[in-house]
Structure 1
Amino acid sequence: MHFRKLDLNLLVALDALIRNQNVSLAAEELHLSQSAMSSSLSRLRRYFNDDLLIQTGRRMTLSPLAEQLEQPIRDILVKIDASIMLKPGFDPTTSDREFRICVSDYMLHTLIPYVIEMTQAQGCTVKLNFLPQVSDPKKELDRGEADLLIMPDIFCSDFHLSEPLITDEFACVVWDQSDLAKDQMTMETFMSAGHICMQPPNSNPSFETHAYESQGISRRVDVRTFSFSCIPNLIVGTNLIATLQRRLIDKSITQGMPLKSFATPVALPTLCESMQWHKYQNADLGIIWLRQLMLEAVAKHMC
């Protein structure tokens, strides 16, 4: 199909070329030969009268025009994909659709086990693909590479739709045999202790770090890790302290980990985890079912 003398199939090739900035990788993604992708790039260059991808040393970079085209082209393709998914009905017990869900490991250890349990109990045939939260998960949604994000509401995009899912509080946790477990947690003790913190994949602070710093509290961080769920295990046998979600602490203690929890020395805001989905997928029956499944899991197991 052509529009204004442009073969619309080339838009898919252009999107892959822009995202990968590499002819071979774009060809591999679209299951084309490298020569076929090179031919598509040549046709695109002639149509736009622009290099689009510029060889710079051993790598390729985007031309200014390609940078301007990146988001509009992605929006077009996501909207087409969303329209295709608008089928008359959706039955999770017969569908083979795969849902890509960006979540933190905190959610994987608290809510998601109940979600999987419910899909098994209901005889669902859909596939759930849980993806790590990269530096900017909202881009995964923009590009159509994720169907649902679950993250703190303060990090949600204003461009897409969202819905509150679950709330949690923060508490301090220590090894129950440490010196820190012997007395009450005072501000002096808190500030003098070494801390374990989760560091997000980008340079931004985690939710609780941001909350402390907004009140002028800067902790002495001795250990950083990429995972919330490993922190309880890392604390055991040390005199370190961590500030974690209460649900994660309670689950660790229930599973027999030798931990003791305290209230935080200052009040921290409530953590509100929300679901966010692409605005073009608001009428997608599969996404509607998935969101409802998440809400039912919270209502049944976590209220």
Structure 2
Amino acid sequence: MRFNKLDLNLLVALDALLTEEGISRAAEKIHLSQSAMSNALARLREYFDDELLVQVGRKMELTSRAEGLKDAVRDILVRVDATIAAQPQFVPPQSNRLFRLLVSDYTMMTLMPHVLELAYRQAPGVSFDLRPQVSNPQRVLERGEADVLIIPKDFCSTEHPSEILFEESFCCVLWDRSNLANVDMTAERYMSAGHVVVHPGDGIALDDWFMQQLGMIRRVEASTFSFLSPAHLVVGTHRIATMHTRLATLAARSLPLVIRSMPVTMPKMEQCVQWHKHRTWDQGIAWVRTLLKEAVVTMDGTSSAAA
């Protein structure tokens, strides 16, 4: 099929080339031979009157024209997938669909066990690909490389719809033999102590962002990429970790920890689910959104019972 003299079948090849920035990787991604992909690139170069991919040293790089096409082509394919290629109905017990979720290790430990348990009961054939959140995870969502993103509201994209799943507070976590474990946690003691903080990837953790908004500077003595690890890293030290309360409660079941209320005022985190605006009517994604809300009820019911 052609549109304005462009063979629309070439759009899939173009998207693979722009994403993978290499002929062999692009060919492998969409299951073409390398010669077929080379032929597709030649036809695309002719149509756009641009090299699109050029050899620079040992790798290939996109031209400025190709960079300008990258998001536009992906958006077209996402629209096609959402409106034409998507199945009109989603029947959970009969489905074998794969859902791709971008989650932090906080969400992985607190919410996802309940999500998978409920999903197994409702749709045993459905599978999940739980992917780590990276810098600018919204771009992964926009490129159709994930179905939903679970992220704090403060970091949600304004271009796509979202729903609040639950609120989360923060707390102080200390080794139970710390010199701060048996005294009142005042703001002065909190700010003067050494801290273990989370710096996920090249981003910023929400508690760190809140601290910056409050104009507070903690004395950082250790930093980590994992939201769960501070609970382990304060053990045997007099340091403090500021953690999500649900995650800290889980950690305290197996580690020698004490949990204290925050001595400084911090807003609660609003954890959201976000999806691509073109996929609002996707029945499968609507089911996942409902499943996430059901899992929150189960998660907090389980936490209350354990407490």
Scaled by the length of structure 1, what TM-score is found? Answer: 0.95
Answer whether contact 1:134 1:201 (CA < 8 A) is retained. yes
* 3-state SS of 2:214 partner: coil
Answer whether contact 2:95 2:123 (CA < 8 A) is retained. no
1:252 aligns with 251
Does residue 31 of the first structure (1) align with residue 31 of the second (2)? yes
2:213 aligns with 214
Distance 1:68 1:287, change over 3 A: same
* 3-state SS of 2:94 partner: coil
1:291 aligns with 289
Gaps of 5+ in 1: none
2-side partners of 1:280 and 1:3: how far apart? 22
* 3-state SS of 2:99 partner: strand
Shift of 1:162: 0.5
1:158 aligns with 158
Q: Which amino acid aligns with 2:243?
A: L
Give deviations 1:96-137, integer Å, cap 9, x for gaps. 100000011101111111111112233531111111001111
* 3-state SS of 1:83 partner: helix
Answer whether contact 2:199 2:225 (CA < 8 A) is retained. yes
2:298 aligns with 300
Answer whether contact 2:141 2:149 (CA < 8 A) is retained. yes
1:270 aligns with 268
Alignment of 1:179-218 (within 5 A): 179-202=179-202, 204-218=203-217
* 3-state SS of 1:93 partner: helix
1-side partners of 2:233 and 2:147: how far apart? 33
Q: Which amino acid aligns with 2:272?
A: S
2-side partners of 1:119 and 1:20: how far apart? 33
2:57 aligns with 57
* 3-state SS of 2:171 partner: strand
2-side partners of 1:212 and 1:265: how far apart? 13
* 3-state SS of 2:128 partner: strand
Distance 1:88 1:19, change over 3 A: closer
Distance 1:210 1:300, change over 3 A: same
Answer whether contact 1:86 1:283 (CA < 8 A) is retained. no
Gaps of 5+ in 2: 302-307
Answer whether contact 2:110 2:299 (CA < 8 A) is retained. no
Q: Which amino acid aligns with 1:120?
A: Y
Shift of 1:150: 0.3
2-side partners of 1:107 and 1:143: how far apart? 22
1:140 aligns with 140
Q: Which moved more, 1:118-127 or 1:18-27?
A: 118-127
Q: Which amino acid aligns with 1:244?
A: M
